[in-house]
Amino acid sequence: MSRYSPWAQRLDGIRRADRWRRLRTVIPTGPTTAWLEGREVVVACSNDYLGLALDPRVQRAARGAGATSSRLISGDRPIHRALEERLEAWLGRPALVFSSGFLANLAVFSTVCAPGDRIASDAYNHASIIDGLRLSRAERTIVPHADPRAVPEDARLIVLEGLYSMDGDTPPLRDYPTAPWLAIDEAHAVGVLGPGGRGAAAAAGVQPDILIGTFGKAFGAGGAFVVGPPELKELLINAGRSFIFTTALPEPVAAMALAGLQAATDELRQRTRANVRRLRGGLRQLGWSPLGHDHIVPVVAGPRTLALADRLLSAGVFAPPIRYPTVARGQERLRFTVSAAHTPEQLDRICDALGAA
């Protein structure tokens, strides 16, 4: 028995359950290409939906230093305030910047509800929402995915995502009850969907009480934000443990996020949409029925997903398999994501590679 054998035993369990995860180093060679394990590939799985991560405007914006303190001690910088002012002008309500979307969700969902409150949480919600809700010690009802009728009458808070990352769908936001508070995590939608990229809720004409967004996806930077009434911002500053007790977003990343917000134009959104049409059309021609309608394009292939992903990689297309427990057994899938920066040839190559596989 070694000191660490309990950890080794857990790892054995993970391996036996076929749930082993490993890191793969991806070296970007262009906005949608990378060097991966000895070959150049088209990246068909990043969240760089507007192609901004390698945009010179975003890259050149990086300046300043690590904050070396939480915002409440000595880490609050003018760039954080500038970012929040820009968000407020864009989304119309007070905004608070966080170091990541995971930390934003932990702070929001552990803070806004009291123990005993009932919270209705969609069954497909992200791990960061689930963990935040657990920390709240509120009563949680897991509601079947995208089913407004299943929300219990006494729910104080309904929690949804604007665009689900593994199913690529938007729930019928207008059909949810309006009496309780509504929180929508727009991590995959903001910047891309809705008028001015304001997200899936804005597209549906719904204003959630709480909107969470990230800078690490469509805006090509990192960090996150929460938008809502003034009381929400002050509550998170005063009681959100993952806001209070963490180092502020580094200045270079905050500056990149601001540049990403400024660079996210309707023209880029239209390019993403045109690319979505091309990829979805090509997949349908091959006989696949991708889920959803937008830039997350899941293709459910079941147990053969692993082999398909390997064949795609051999053909120079990188889209790792999404497996259990991220999705249910039998629902294993390839999850393609579309960027404004994909060329028509690259999108056709994804389809050709899948056709050949």
Ligand X SMILES: Cc1ncc(COP(=O)(O)O)c(C=O)c1O
Instruction: State the binding string over 72-91 for ligand X (x if CB under 6 A, else -).
Output: --------------------
Q: Which of 143, 140, 180 is nearest to 161 (CA)?
A: 143
**224 touching ligand X, by CB under 6 A:** yes
- Written in H, E and C, the secondary structure of 220-284 is CCCCEEEECCHHHHHHHHHHCHHHHCCCCCCHHHHHHHHHHHHHCCHHHHHHHHHHHHHHHHHHH
| Nearest to ligand X of 53, 308 (CB atom) | 53
> Shortest distance, CB of residue 98 to ligand X, whole angstroms?
8
Amino acid at 187: A
**Can you tell me which of 121, 136, 214, 339 binds ligand X, judged by CB under 6 A?**
214
Q: Tell me: cis bond preceding 325? Omega within 30 of 0 counts.
A: yes
Catalytic site residue 185? yes
Selected catalytic residue, list 80, 188, 295, 342: 188
**Can you tell me which of 110, 121, 128, 331 binds ligand X, judged by CB under 6 A?**
128
Catalytic site residue 37? no
Selected catalytic residue, list 46, 165, 242, 275: 165
**110 touching ligand X, by CB under 6 A:** no
Catalytic site residue 126? yes
Selected catalytic residue, list 110, 167, 186, 217: 217
Residues from 142 through 181 that contact ligand X (CB under 6 A): 161, 165
For residues 24 and 41, give the distance between their C-alpha atoms in angstroms, rounded to a whole number.
Answer: 13
Q: Which DSSP symbol is given to 320?
A: P
**102 touching ligand X, by CB under 6 A:** yes
What is the β-pairing status of strands 33-36 and 296-300?
unpaired
Residue 135 — φ and ψ, nearest 5°?
-65, -25
User: In the chain, where do the E strands start and end?
Assistant: 26-30, 33-36, 39-43, 95-98, 118-122, 139-143, 157-161, 181-185, 210-214, 224-227, 296-300, 317-318, 321-322, 333-337
**246 touching ligand X, by CB under 6 A:** no
**Can you tell me which of 48, 55, 84, 185 binds ligand X, judged by CB under 6 A?**
185
Q: Which of 71, 164, 60, 80 is nearest to 121 (CA)?
A: 164
Catalytic site residue 125? no
Total residues at interface with ligand X (CB under 6 A):
14
Among the candidate windows 37-45, 184-192, 234-242, 276-284, which touches ligand X by CB under 6 A? 184-192
**216 touching ligand X, by CB under 6 A:** yes
Among the candidate windows 135-143, 182-190, 232-240, 316-324, which touches ligand X by CB under 6 A? 182-190
For residues 325 and 174, give the distance between their C-alpha atoms in angstroms, rounded to a whole number.
Answer: 30
Report, as residue numbers or ranges, the catalytic residues.
47, 126, 161, 165, 185, 188, 217
Contact set with ligand X (CB under 6 A): 100-102, 105, 126, 128, 161, 165, 185, 187-188, 214, 216, 224
